[in-house]
Every structure is written in structure tokens, then in C-alpha cells.
Structure 1
Amino acid sequence: MTVDSGHGLKTVSLVKASQPLDDKLNFDIRDSTDSPQTWSMISRRMEICLRHHSLCTPKPRSKNYRPTRLLKINCPHGTHSQDTASFQLISRGEDSDVFSYATLSYRWGDKPLDKALQLLKSTSAWLEKSNAVDHLPKTLKDAIYIAYRFGVRYMWIDRLRIYQDSPEDWRREAGTMQDVYRNSVFCVSALGANDDEGGCFFSRDPSLVAPSAVDIYDNGETFRVELEDTAWHAAFRHEPLIQRAWVLHERLMAPRIPTDADKHEKHVDIGFPLWKQLVAIPTTPCMTRDLHTRILADWSATISLYSNTKLIVSRDKLVAVSGLAKDVRNALKRLIPGRHRYLAGLWEDRLIETLGWYVRVGIPASRAACYRAPSWSWASLYGHLIIPDTFREGAVDIGSLLSANITLLGADDTEEVTGGILALHGPVCLIDAYALSRNQYAVETFREFGSGHSVKVRANESWQHQPTVIFDTSDDFRNKFACIWTIAVVLGGWQVSGLALHHVRNDTFLRVSVVSLYNSSQADLGTFIDLFSRREVRLI
């Protein structure tokens, strides 16, 4: 069907609408997301999810779970009012009536932390008393109102239930985050709020979000615009909350999420097959039937998305996905019993394949000011990173892992690390390169590592593409460096990839970039790799 979009004529695809229409669509959309019509629709869908969606229901062993601390919501006479409603911080065991609680996913905003109401050693006594909800920022007030509307009298809000001035309490509670969100009845998502004063409700133009239903043939057969079922994804990716690093963890763990955004109205209940829709992962799904490979490919796709999100506290880079890492390990253990070592954000199961992560061309990343991870881990950088799709048949490991050692800050290997060393063995060469763009260089010459003069391989016409280097940060740019080749995959030819290295001492190096070269055949690839001697290198 051709329509006038206001910016010219557009052709859209139509699909036959399911009947009755009202079971799937909400046509009664008003100019506020706080309208009675919106509440009726969300309440109806929430009830359906609670009653009938088994994937969203906590397992029996989880029904008695309680977070360490919660906010108790008190409303005189059973009616919520901003003027009379109050909240009170309670600890686990203080109130035996805690049967269910809600969580909140939101942005703190950019204001100084000392200006924000938080749980501190100096504020705990005040928070443990009954206080008017009006003391809270608008986003938190709205979240409490939403919880109360659904009959939930307890709320979990990160900055009011974790001591923000106690590293010990923070580390202990961060390790339970996946359980907190997974066992909540739902998570309120302040998707369209830039900060804690943005709120959860917005005005909107109903004509921009109302679904379309067209009776083309005037025979009662109704059609819908196919694009409308997925159009919300495009806007979803740009909402303020999605830029926050912790939101990935929160959205994947929560069983159900009522969401009110600026122009969109969406209630999503989620089981495992739909998780990519909820976090808007842009990469092509791994299509292999091997579940072990699919789990690790999904992890890599998730981290590619997560890498470009923002953190208030830099050291949280690994902690913010700790719960997801634990879930991945449990899934791997169910398939293949074993240790499944987690190495500063990468899995030993497929370490050689995933060491080749790279920074988006033209947008150099930056290294964290404080130590977060070894140079070979994506967690060491700020920036948009991509973990390549090497989870496929036909991939050949050129290098091998000899050993891996991680030094942990605490006892949990999915959280903060203080050091890490990989010992790799593979073909090593020296490279001369020149700049192409901001962080992309072209290879001019490959040389043998030992003498630097006995072998020279210049770019030639038999290669399908110019060999290239993508540096991690602008501080890493250099024209001469070492490279260890790690893996080759079939991509219309044979692509061999390696890690560019900056020498530190003896056989110890820092990773500074990735190098890639395309050969027309596996035989040509073998001839090229055999030019260079194999040796052990240590990456820190």
C-alpha cells in the first residue's frame, strides 16, 4: 500500500490482522501515559503474564527470596497520594509481610553525587524512619506510585538500599543483583527519563503511536501495517535509559517490565527466546544448532552492545555484567559439566576466537584511567567495541592458549580484577604500517620477528583486500609493532586475524590493536603463516 508520510509517498507492507483486534492492540490511546486507558491496558497484560506465562514466573525455590533491604510503601486509608504516602527503609527479616517487591531501572543523571539522596552511613537513620514520598526525586516517586497501583507495597531502588559509601557493602550487594531483579514481580523502567527528575509519565500525540487497521476491500477483512510491530525497536535504541551500562543487566534479569517512554507505550513480558528484542542487540543471531556455541555467541553479541554504554563509576565495568556471566556459566555447566573459566569478560571455552574484538573504525576508544582489566580484555576500554562473529564451522585456530591467570579483587571471578596474564603460542611477525584514517592503518610490510630482515612480505595483488590494523586507542597509534596470528575464518576467502603488540619487557606485551589479512585460498593462507616462526608471548 502507498501512503503519504508527510515527507513524500512511501510504500508499506500490510499483513492480515488477527481477530479480534482488541486482544492484541490498544486503539484507545490518550495524550498521557498516566491515563486510565493506559493503566487498564497495562493492568490487563500484567495479569495475563502473571497468570499464564510460565517463563516469567520465579521457580519454586526462589519464592522466598528477599533482598537485604527494601523500601516499604505506606499509604493511609489504602489510597496512594503524593501528599500522604510515605516510605521507610527496612532490612530483611524486619517485616514478615514481604511477599513481593518491584525494582526500578533508571538514570541517576549527571548532577554531583553528593547532591543526590542516597543510602549512606550518615543518612541511614533518617531513611529507616517513615518519610514523605515527596522527599524523593520525581522518577522515584513515580516508580513507587506504579508499584502501589499494582498492589506491590515494597520497592527496591539501588541508591536507597546499597550503602554508597561502603565498598564492602557495595561489592556484597552487587554480587546478588541478578537475584534481586530476577525475583521481583516486575521492574519499572523509566525509559524516557534523562535523570531522576524526569519521571515515568509523559505527554504524547496519540496519532503518532496509535496502531493502524485498514479495511481495504470493505468486506470486514482488516489489515495492519507490518512495520508497526517492530518500529518501536528503532526508537527504543535511542531512549536515554538504554545508554546506561547497568540497564542491560536489569532488563535481561527482570521477569516483566512495564515501560512508559516519551512517545511509545509498551509492556513486554519476556522469556529466553525474546531477550535480544528487549535489549535491541543489533548483530545477526548465531544460527548454529550447537547450544554451547550459541550461548557464547549470544554473550559476545551482548557485550558488543554493552561496551558503548555509560558508567558513573568506572570500576563497575565487569561488575555490571557479573550476574549475566553467572547465568552464562550455569547454562554452560548444564550442557557440559566443567569449570568454564571466566577471564575478565571473556570465556576460556572460546578465548582464541574472542580475543580478536576490535574498536569501530573511525571512533578510537579510550583506556580507563584506573585499572579495570588486562589490555587483552574489552573491559579495559571505553568505546564502541565489536566482538566478531567467528563462531562458525570452518574457523581454524592459528594460535593457542598455553595458560591464563587472573588476579581478583575479591572471591568472585565475575567481578573486579587487579591483573591478568595470558600466555599464547603462535606465529609472530613484525609489521610496518601507515595511517589510513583515525584509528585504521594499512600494512606495508611483514617481517620476521627474530632478525627483522630475513623475510619481507609486501602487499600484493593476490590478497583480496589491503591488510589493515584497527588500533584500540589514539595512544596506541604506531608505525612499527609485533603481531601474533591467532585465528582464520572463511569469509569469501580466508581471513586471518592477529593481535598487534607493544613490547613491555622480555616476552611480555600489551595488546594495542587487531590486524587482519584476506587470502584467496587456504593454501595461500598456509604459505603466508609458515613464513613466520612460532613463539610464546605473554599478554598483560
Structure 2
Amino acid sequence: MASIYANAYLTIAATASADFDGGCFRERSPTVKVEVTDIAGQISCLYARERLGHAAFDFGISGALQAARRNAWRAESQIDDYPLFGRGWCFQERLLSPRVLHYTSEEIVWECLGMTSCECGTMDRFVGSAVLRERRNAAGVPLDIEVRCGKLERSQALVKRLGMLERFESLSNFRGKLPAVLSDDYAFMSAIEGKPLEMETTDVQMRERWRDLVSQYSHRHLTYATDTLPALSGLAKSWQARSPGLGQYLAGLWEHDLLRGLLWQCVDRGETARPGDYLAPSWSWASLRGAVDWLPFHYEPIYHVTIMAVATQPSGRNAFGEVTSGHVKLRGLVVIATMKTYDLRENTAEMQAHRDCYLEGTEMGQRFFIDSTEEYAALLGQELHCLWCSTDVNDLRTMIGFERGLVLRRCDNTSNTFRRVGVMANFRIAERDAAEVTEMELIII
């Protein structure tokens, strides 16, 4: 499927349709006409129509200003207007297609590797477009494509209109104050300089972009949970072709980004679960169905674990598709704790509906984010292992920051094999007595 869409000349998308019976065509909202007669008896006409939303076409980013991307995407109006964008398989089909013609309820929208355009003209002003950036990246298009498509002049006009050059003294100062999606956009930064820039897509950028893609993809719906990895396999294959430095593909993560990749969290309270069918090892975001994101870092993190071994077993010949098993062997510092039992006088049902849970060690309880809310009751009172993974340094003078860790549950009493059940955003391991911290080698499946 991925190769068909990637090699298509034109993809026609029934973007306003909820299923295959919906078709492309809709009855559009009528234009409002108001006639006004002035004092001289001249009749003037004013035409108006309902203002259209376009945020969903840009992953929730409208124009040059970064909005609340996921909040905009999750808005019911976006889901209702563009149901095709809520489908998991359609995510990679859209990004891999060289050209897409969208039939929406109110207008036709054009997408190619150089631009996005709509009938009302709003999308012609898109700068720093996340979806265009990833479409070009997946297709291996050189970074200067926007300039060759004549968008430099448009970007310069937008920069001037926003008065950005007057507010910042230099490009370096300007870049530091921009959202990443804008500072990473070739045409926009070229407009700031007034000339083409020498830019390359680095392995670090490819890793960050992959995590962003997964986060966006995880909000989509799949009829069959077992399609979680297959529906993203075409993009994974193109990512590896563009950046061999990513290493081996491991059930939705990359070998050379694994330490960062393990630190994902569920972002939808009460909406995550591990399906009955095996999807992926528990350390992969693909092991459950629900929206995910990665714990944020201020700077390049300091890692405290060592990867001893990692492997996944594909179910067939496609290395980017379904997997039947997988494991990662890590060595690091571990604290043993117990998941806290709430006072019976508290609203237990309300507690279970949230993903915030607490761990009791010797004297201190710490919060962690549970992966599957369905596992809440089964984990209460259970012994859990907290693995110290990394430090997010937010003070370069003291090198102090937030400690990140994985919360694991032993598979049985005799083995050293664990399953992931959550993640800790602030481990605070320094506050533990040395006797409470143990160095271990763990296998997570």
C-alpha cells in the first residue's frame, strides 16, 4: 500500500467522508449577500461566507504562528470536518503521496511537495508547515525546494508583515526565540536572511521528527489494533532510507535513539489500554492503543543506563511491520517501591480514571504516569522497580535537572524479566539512601 501511494501521480482524497460510502461531493454553505443603498441611491453588494478552519491541514499549526497543536487537532470541529484525518492508515498515505487533492465539505484543497493551497486562499500563507516539511522529508526532496517553488518571496512578505526582523537583532537571536517547527523550515529561515541557506537534515532532526510523527499518528484511529505498526511501516522505511544512521527499526523506535525513545508517556487520561492481541514489547509505544508523546527535555539529556542487548522478531519478511516478540536488556540503578493504595474515604473511581499514581518506598511517595489505566487495580499494592534512565538538565551551572525513569513490574518471582507499566517524569533518586539503590541488569519484554 505504501509503495502504491508513494508512486501515485495524484491521490484523490474524500477528506470530508467518514467511510467509503461518503463520496467526494457536498452541498456547500450558501454565500450571504447583503445589499446596501447609500444616500445617493447607489446600490452596493457585500458578499460573505462562513469562515473556514484549516488547522487540521497543518497538524494543528495555522499560518506562521504555532497554536496549541494537539488541542487544535483534538477539537471536535476538526474531527467532524475532516474525518479522513482521524484514520490511522490515511496518515502515511497522505504523507507519502506526491500530490493530494482533498475534497472537503466547503472547498477543494491541493497539496504537493512544494505547497498547500485552498480555494479561500488561507493556506497560501502557511509558513513553517509541519505536514509539508514531513512530506518533503519522506520523499527525500532537497531542502531548497521551497525556494525553487518561488515561495521565498511569500515568506519574506510574511516576515515583514509580522515585523519579526525589527524585533530581533540577529538570525541567531531570532532562531532561539522561534518554535522548532519554524526554525527548522527552510523557506522561512531563508526569508529571514533574504537568501538561500546551506542546510542539511541531520540524524538528530530525523529522530525528533520521527517522534513527532508517532505522536501525531497515535491520535488516529484504527479498526484493527494489530495494524498499529503496519500502518506506519511505509514512513518507517522511508525514514531509514533517508537516515541510515538511525540504525535498526525496533517496533516503532530506532536503535540509535532507543534511550530517548523509551521515555514516552500516554497523554490521554483514561483512554489507554493494552489490547488482547500482542502488538509490541511493553517498552514500545506501539504496545498499547492511545495517544502518546515523549517527556520533554530542555537540553540534550544525560543517560544513566547502558543498553546491553535489544532485538525484535518481525512476524513476516517486512522488518517494519508486525512483531511477535522483542526484548531490551538494560543495566542501571533501580529503586524498589510499592504502588500506593489510596484511602478508602477518597473517590477511588475518580482516582482510577486518572493516570497519576504514586509509589511508596521507605519514606517518600513519588508520582508516576501509568501506561494503561486498565492495569490500575492490578498494580495497587504491588512491588515495582523504578529504573533511573536520564537527567533532563535545566541548569547548566549546576547540571541539576529532572530525573527520568521507567516503572517496571517483574514478570515472575524468579526471573529478572520485567514489563513496563509506566514512566516517571521526576525520579528524585538523589533523595534516596544509598542502601535503597541497587545496580541491576534487567530484561524488559
Map Cα deviations across residues 199-243 of structure 1 (whole Å, 9 max, x no partner): 1011122549xxxxxxxxxxxxxxxxxx97955645655521111
1:365 aligned to which of 272, 284, 287 = 272
In the other structure, the counterpart of 2:131 is 276
In the other structure, the counterpart of 2:6 is 182
The TM-score normalised by the length of structure 1 is 0.54
Q: CA 1:207–1:265 in structure 2 vs 1: closer, same or farther (change >3 Å)?
A: farther
Task: Determine if the alignment matches structure 1 residue 309 to structure 2 residue 212.
Answer: no
Task: Determine if the alignment matches structure 1 residue 356 to structure 2 residue 263.
Answer: yes
Shift of 1:345: 0.7
In the other structure, the counterpart of 1:109 is none
2:334 aligned to which of 405, 428, 432 = 428
* Contact in 2 for aligned 1:362/1:439 (Cα 8 Å): yes
Task: Determine if the alignment matches structure 1 residue 514 to structure 2 residue 423.
Answer: yes
Which residue identity is paired with 1:536?
Answer: E
In the other structure, the counterpart of 1:438 is 353
Shift of 1:186: 0.9
Which residue identity is paired with 1:514?
Answer: V
Which residue identity is paired with 2:28?
Answer: R
CA distance in 2 between counterparts of 1:438 and 1:526 reads 31
Map Cα deviations across residues 302-326 of structure 1 (whole Å, 9 max, x no partner): 1111113222233211111111011
CA distance in 2 between counterparts of 1:232 and 1:320 reads 20
CA distance in 2 between counterparts of 1:189 and 1:529 reads 60
Task: Determine if the alignment matches structure 1 residue 407 to structure 2 residue 313.
Answer: yes
CA distance in 2 between counterparts of 1:287 and 1:496 reads 28
In the other structure, the counterpart of 2:409 is 502
For structure 1, which runs of at least 5 residues remain unmatched after alignment?
1-176, 209-226, 447-455, 460-466, 520-524
For structure 2, which runs of at least 5 residues remain unmatched after alignment?
33-50, 58-71, 116-127, 136-178, 185-199, 343-350
Q: Following superposition of structure 1 onto structure 2, how do residues 235-384 of structure 1 map, counting pairs within 5 Å?
A: 238=80, 239-271=82-114, 274-276=129-131, 285=181, 291-333=202-244, 336=245, 340-360=247-267, 362-384=269-291
* Contact in 2 for aligned 1:439/1:473 (Cα 8 Å): no
**Secondary structure, counterpart of 1:367 in structure 2:** coil
The TM-score normalised by the length of structure 2 is 0.64
* Contact in 1 for aligned 2:130/2:181 (Cα 8 Å): no
Q: CA 1:502–1:527 in structure 2 vs 1: closer, same or farther (change >3 Å)?
A: closer
**Secondary structure, counterpart of 1:371 in structure 2:** coil
Q: CA 1:326–1:231 in structure 2 vs 1: closer, same or farther (change >3 Å)?
A: closer
Shift of 1:277: 5.4
**Secondary structure, counterpart of 1:469 in structure 2:** strand
Shift of 1:293: 1.1
CA distance in 2 between counterparts of 1:470 and 1:268 reads 38
CA distance in 1 between counterparts of 2:263 and 2:56 reads 33
- Superposed CA RMSD: 3.1
Q: CA 1:206–1:491 in structure 2 vs 1: closer, same or farther (change >3 Å)?
A: farther
Shift of 1:411: 2.2
* Contact in 1 for aligned 2:274/2:289 (Cα 8 Å): yes
* Contact in 1 for aligned 2:268/2:291 (Cα 8 Å): no
* Contact in 2 for aligned 1:494/1:518 (Cα 8 Å): no
Q: CA 1:400–1:290 in structure 2 vs 1: closer, same or farther (change >3 Å)?
A: farther
* Contact in 2 for aligned 1:486/1:496 (Cα 8 Å): yes
Task: Determine if the alignment matches structure 1 residue 536 to structure 2 residue 379.
Answer: no
**Secondary structure, counterpart of 2:243 in structure 1:** helix
Which residue identity is paired with 2:23?
Answer: G
* Contact in 2 for aligned 1:191/1:260 (Cα 8 Å): yes
Q: Following superposition of structure 1 onto structure 2, how do residues 219-234 of structure 1 map, counting pairs within 5 Å?
A: 233=57
* Contact in 2 for aligned 1:425/1:537 (Cα 8 Å): yes
In the other structure, the counterpart of 1:191 is 15
CA distance in 1 between counterparts of 2:24 and 2:371 reads 38
Map Cα deviations across residues 176-199 of structure 1 (whole Å, 9 max, x no partner): x33211211111111111111111
Q: Following superposition of structure 1 onto structure 2, how do residues 204-223 of structure 1 map, counting pairs within 5 Å?
A: 204-207=28-31
Pick the structure with greater CA Rg: 1
